[in-house]
A and B are shown apart, each in its own frame.
Chain A
Amino acid sequence: MRVSNEGLNTASFEDLALPLFEQLYNFAHWLTQDRAEAEDLVQETYAKALRGFSSFQPGTNFRAWMYRILRNSFLSSRTGLKTMVVLDEENGEALPAETATPEALLIEQANQQMVQLAMEALPLPFREILLLCEVEEMSYQEISEALAIPIGTVMSRLSRARKALRGALQTRMTGGRRGM
């Protein structure tokens, strides 16, 4: 949603921001893991965005701008401060070792609930980048704007997030089989 100079004059804040409501709420709930906190976060995001709407730069991506406000608000909240971990982008965080579970078996056994639990357990930087790419289908450029990181970091973090998710799914399934 790239807004031109001309578009900004004619489109109101409401026209641009309200269609994003459902997806912003989903993202906020994934970040906070709590309905009440997610509602507060979304409300705060809209209030901040409305106040700052005049400073929004036409020609840039409005959706990425809204996500960036939401994320910054979350990071400065009490839950956000506790949750966010700093990743070592150069060397990479230790990931679960690739196990022998074949990919086909992994897919066969994985179900939606299992994927949700695995995503919940991921470190926040991995969870949020997977949500932006796989769920919101943002381009690398949009993700880079939303998370305020370079595109190279988007690519490497995304790759590690995907590996981490597969690792987490495999761990869950190995655990599930042991428990049976």
Chain B
Amino acid sequence: MACETWRANLDRYLDGELAPADAADFSAHLRSCADCTGEILQTVQIRRLVHSAGKRYTPSAEFRNKIGKQFASKPRRARFSKWSIVFVPALVLLAAALLLSSYFDRQQKAEQEIFSELADLHVATLASSTPVDVLSSDRHTVKPWFQGKIPFTFNLPELAGTEFSLLGGRVFYLHQTPGAHLIYQVRKHEISVFILPDSAGTLKSLTEGTASVLTFNTDTWTENGLRYFVVGDANAGDLQTLAKLLQGAG
């Protein structure tokens, strides 16, 4: 196919609006065409300029307060307002909190290390010239590819009718345990999904739910003995939607 034909789709490719198979073809073409890669780079640079230039206006603090007061619901009134009722439970809670704080500190550090490691893996994989070992948007191709490479199996969701597309997968290791690393795309954002057996001690005690790590949004949960992690720079709502799709696939 001539470069002119590819370039007609360049905007849609960068906007994340090409069908996954077409986007994969486009990526493959870029790996072998310096001219088109140069064109893409320049377009991305202009878009970055527009992106930052477009975030130009911020509301004043007064206006923010005004809207907040006007449209936020009124705070709920405390059910028990008398000091005598609140004071004793508060003391008990304080004592318990002091006892538990050192345990949670240790737990938090271990959790942060895992999330940082996964965020690093996400970035390093996307920066790689071959981010995935199995390049396919078809879950029926990607899932069997992992057979014999990891010591467990898992289900992948049907994405038709959603904004998400599957780009492919690879094997990764965390704490010497092999797992499945899947890369999804939503609009212009890539999201990593890491799946591991939940048997390792540190993983088992991880807190479930969403968080933000090194500017990435994350989500984690356990299902059927497997621990899932979702990491990406897409907004938290997109990550939760993908998490629900994955949870529904089981």
Q: Show the binding face of B for A, using Cβ within 8 Å.
A: 11-12, 15-17, 39, 42, 45-47, 49-60, 63-64, 66-68, 70-73, 163, 187-188, 237, 241
Contact = CB atoms under 8 A, between A and B. Distances in A.
Contacts, number: 101
B67 A134 contact: no
A134 B47 contact: yes
B56 A110 contact: no
B71 A50 contact: yes
Interface stretch (A13-21, A72-80, A83-91): A13-21
A107 B45 contact: yes
Contacts of A14: 71-73
Interface string A21-36: 1100110011000010
Range class of the A interface residue count: 35 or more
B71 A137 contact: no
B58 A26 contact: yes
Nearest to B73: A14
Contact of A26 (B17, B57, B66, B67): B57
A139 to B, nearest CB: 5
Contact of A21 (B39, B47, B59): B59
A137 B188 contact: yes
Contact of B63 (A39, A131, A155): A39
Given A14-B71, A21-B67, A29 B57 contact: yes
24 contacts: A13-B71, A18-B67, A18-B68, A18-B72, A22-B58, A25-B58, A25-B59, A25-B63, A29-B56, A29-B57, A35-B60, A43-B70, A46-B67, A46-B70, A107-B46, A112-B52, A115-B49, A130-B50, A134-B47, A135-B50, A139-B15, A139-B163, A141-B163, A158-B15
Contacts of A137: 187-188
A140 B12 CA distance: 9
B53 A112 contact: yes
Contacts of B52: 112
**Chain B interface mostly helix, strand, loop or mixed?**
helix
Contact of B57 (A25, A130, A141, A165): A25
Contacts of B67: 18, 21, 42-43, 46
Contacts of B17: 139-140
Given A21-B59, A25-B63, A135-B55, 14 more contacts: A2-B241, A14-B71, A22-B59, A25-B59, A26-B55, A26-B57, A29-B56, A103-B39, A107-B45, A107-B49, A115-B53, A137-B187, A159-B11, A165-B46
A51 to B, nearest CB: 11
Contacts of B60: 35
